[in-house]
């Protein structure tokens, strides 16, 4: 017990910031800039587990409980947060729910043509029409797409909110945080303009993902059309024969030269899709949804802007 007390007493001398996912952690560090060492900044999901399967440990809950600023996404995967906040010890904690900050910019999860719904999803949406009233009731509960960080425009809005929160925590250095946020938002804006220019010049405006599709916000920002095996939040990993054939036919129909996956995919579905096209020679490209960033990646210098620049390079290859 003595050890715990002394460790927390030491930590208490610095303001603490706890972030659930990697993108907001990186944005916080950009806002803090050279003042980062004056804070304890913790990333909870740093072992490569994605947001959908993460469950907080006892230590995670303890860190949140005493934090001065807590930042989380705010979607269905964060249902555990409410209880943790109700029992939090620091009653003056500033809490940022990213989906709340974005308001109307948040989109409902979308099931596009050819996309395979999980059994759980079908059940939740009451596709058994005998349910009558229950069916109508189920539909009132919309499921929102949690991958808000994959829009550079959303990133700018959230960075601004983070800057305002940090300024409240350390008003003496408010001007520094304000300037840091402005400089970072300018970088996000420049990259956003590069994405717009690339899409404007592109030969095709359609992407085919033989995988989950967490890039709804990015697609919406630039008016891209997409087909995918599964929705962004799906836990499915086995594509049906119908899904594979649908995607292969789309690639043929649009004469696409590539098919996409997200990071850490075993590419199995993508390879099967390619082998069912007429040309059978499409490239398999990978976009990074920043959902499973590890401590090792961070130590290796990974950051949000570079990952999105890499996504732009992949997008250019996929659209031309």
Could you give the count of Cα atoms lying within 13 Å of 48 in the half-sphere of its Cβ?
5
Tell me which DSSP letter residue 286 carries: E
Annotate 183-198 with three-state secondary structure. Answer: HHHHHHHHHHHHHHHH
Supply the pLDDT for residue 117.
80
Residue 213, classed as helix, strand or coil, is: strand
Domains of the chain: 2-105+146-187 (3.40.50.1980), 195-319 (3.40.50.1980)
Q: Which two tokens stand for residue 241?
A: 């024969």
pTM of the model: 0.89
Supply the pLDDT for residue 192.
99
Instruction: Find the mean pLDDT for residues 240-253.
Output: 97
For the ranges 2-6, 101-105, 227-231, 257-261, the lowest mean pLDDT is seen at: 2-6
Supply the pLDDT for residue 107.
96
Question: How crowded is residue 121: how many other Cβ atoms within 10 Å of its Cβ?
Answer: 19
Best CA proximity match to 231, nearest among 74, 116, 73: 116
Supply the pLDDT for residue 234.
78
Supply the pLDDT for residue 129.
37
The 10s digit of each residue's pLDDT in 63-96 is 999 999 999 999 999 999 999 999 999 999 999 9
Best CA proximity match to 108, nearest among 138, 137, 153, 142: 142
The 10s digit of each residue's pLDDT in 298-312 is 999 999 999 999 999
Q: Classify the C-alpha dihedral 71-74-75-81 as positive or negative.
A: positive
pLDDT higher than 50, residue 60: yes
Supply the pLDDT for residue 199.
98
pLDDT higher than 90, residue 263: yes
């Amino acid at each position: 017990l003595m050890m715990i007390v002394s460790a927390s007493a030491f930590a208490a001398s610095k303001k603490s910031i706890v972030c659930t996912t990697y993108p907001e952690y990186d944005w916080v560090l950009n806002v803090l800039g050279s003042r980062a060492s004056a804070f304890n900044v913790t990333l909870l999901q740093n072992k490569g587990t994605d947001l959908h399967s993460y469950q907080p440990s006892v230590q995670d809950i303890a860190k949140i409980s005493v934090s001065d600023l807590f930042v989380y996404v705010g979607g269905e995967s964060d249902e555990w947060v409410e209880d943790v906040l109700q029992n939090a010890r620091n009653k003056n904690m500033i809490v940022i729910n990213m989906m709340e900050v974005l308001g109307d910019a948040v989109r409902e999860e979308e099931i596009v043509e050819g996309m395979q719904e999980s059994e759980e999803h079908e059940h939740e949406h009451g596709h058994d029409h005998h349910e009558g009233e229950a069916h109508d009731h189920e539909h009132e509960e919309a499921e929102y797409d949690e991958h808000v960080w994959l829009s550079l425009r959303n990133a700018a809005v959230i960075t601004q909110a983070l800057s305002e929160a940090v300024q409240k925590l350390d008003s003496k250095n408010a001007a520094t945080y304000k300037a840091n946020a402005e400089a970072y938002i300018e970088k996000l804006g420049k990259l956003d303009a590069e994405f717009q220019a690339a899409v404007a010049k592109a030969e095709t405006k359609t992407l085919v993902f033989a995988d989950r599709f967490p890039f709804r916000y990015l697609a919406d920002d630039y008016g891209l059309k997409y087909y995918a095996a599964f929705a962004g939040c799906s836990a499915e990993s086995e594509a049906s024969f119908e899904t594979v054939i649908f995607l292969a036919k789309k690639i043929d129909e649009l004469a696409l030269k590539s098919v996409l996956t997200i990071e850490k995919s075993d590419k199995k579905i993508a390879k099967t899709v390619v082998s069912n096209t007429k040309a059978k020679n499409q490239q398999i490209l990978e976009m990074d949804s920043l959902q499973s960033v590890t401590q090792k990646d961070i130590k290796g210098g990974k950051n949000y802007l570079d990952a999105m620049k890499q996504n732009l390079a992949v997008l250019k290859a996929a659209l031309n």
